[in-house]
Amino acid sequence: MSDSHFDTVAIVGIGLIGSSLARAVARGKLVGRIVIADRDVAALAEAERLGLGQAYESDVADAVKDADLVVLCVPVGAMEAIGKAMAPTLKPGAIVSDVGSVKASVLKALSATLPAHAHIIPGHPVAGTEKSGPGAGFASLFDGRWCILTPPEGGDAAAVAKLKGFWAAIGAEVEMMDAAHHDLVLAITSHVPHLIAYNIVGTASDLETVTDSEVIKYSAGGFRDFTRIAASDPTMWRDVFLNNKEAVLEMLGRFTEDLTALQRAIRWGDGDALFELFTRTREIRRRIIDAGQDSAAPDFGRPHEE
């Protein structure tokens, strides 16, 4: 049996990430038994219809009692309540992780609620789509993507190594990071871009009456892709911003300063400043493609029929 194998894994929350994880685990034969937990009875029924696990529970305490690994695929704002609910039945030595986009608050919430015999190792697979629900998942979601683990200082080295091996066996590239540093990095690479997308789509919505619905009718690539990001799960992203407040506000401050400088360049016709910025940002796009994080295909990677 490989070091990445677990006898029983409990996946709590069966949306896009949870269902993709269940499929990826089954594809790699990485566990003996998958237990699916979700308080949404409709989602649980759909997961059972799709055959995503071997057992299905609406009570998280029942779901985790035999689990060697528990992966919390729920909004980060729910971590404290989930931790309290599963604490009484969590078996000694169980590894508890998650998939949230914020890490410091997750570590704090779980450390405060779970027993000392649990190994708490927060995690964040940097992958996803704007879709949600059990039917939205697919096994290859994590292939070639980063999974960031943020174990606490002094955490059990063997448990960390096993979880790292688990994610690597799924197909992810695994990186270790301090929780606070993770939150700062993700604030600029993920959280602020989502906030900008939500805001610009909201602004366009306000203009709909002024433009006689032409904003929607003539949506080009830029606005269209903003709407894709802004279609992401509202509950998840509400909790992200509330639980990564300091880092997001710091990055928003820097963004606002840069936006003001850009506004000034446009106002005063400073073409050299604009050209320099656009050249630099174009190079960043090339580096993202070279790193395998997106496709170089035209039209934002969308396939086209010949």
Q: Which of 57, 25, 12 is nearest to 171 (CA)?
A: 25
Of the ranges 35-44, 148-157, 284-293, which one carries the lowest mean pLDDT score?
A: 284-293
String of DSSP letters for 89-158: GPPTT-EEEE--S--HHHHHHHHHHS-TTSEE--EEE----S--SGGG--GGGGTT-EEEE-PPTT--HH
Q: Which of 72, 77, 76, 12 is nearest to 47 (CA)?
A: 12
Does residue 36 contact residue 15 with C-beta atoms inside 8 Å?
no
**Average confidence (pLDDT) over 141-160:** 94
For residue 193, give both structure tokens: 């871009």
pLDDT digits (tens, 9 = 90+) for 52-84: 999 999 999 999 999 999 999 999 999 999 999
Bridge partners of residue 173, in order along the sequence: 146
Does residue 76 contact residue 101 with C-beta atoms inside 8 Å?
yes
- Parse the chain into domains and list their residue ranges: 6-177, 181-290
Question: What CATH architecture does domain 181-290 belong to?
Answer: Orthogonal Bundle (1.10)
Q: What is the pTM of this model?
A: 0.85
CA distance 11 to 63: 8
What is the fold, at CATH topology level, of the domain defined by 6-177?
A: Rossmann fold (3.40.50)
Of the two residues 219 and 239, the one the predictor is more confident about is 239
Of the ranges 62-71, 88-97, 164-173, 186-195, which one carries the lowest mean pLDDT score?
A: 186-195
Does residue 189 contact residue 182 with C-beta atoms inside 8 Å?
no
pLDDT at 247 over 50: yes
Q: Which of 22, 18, 24, 228 is nearest to 131 (CA)?
A: 228
CA distance 51 to 279: 49
**Average confidence (pLDDT) over 151-160:** 94
Q: Which of 76, 25, 71 is nearest to 51 (CA)?
A: 25
Please name the residues in contact with 22: beta carbons below 8 A apart, sequence gap of 6 or more.
11, 14, 34, 36, 47, 52, 53, 137
Task: Give the number of other CB atoms < 10 A from CB of residue 113.
Answer: 18
| Helix pair 245-267, 192-211: axis angle to 10 deg | 50
pLDDT digits (tens, 9 = 90+) for 277-299: 999 988 888 887 777 766 666 55
CA distance 194 to 205: 16
Would you put residue 133 in left (φ > 0), alpha (ψ -120 to 50) or beta? left
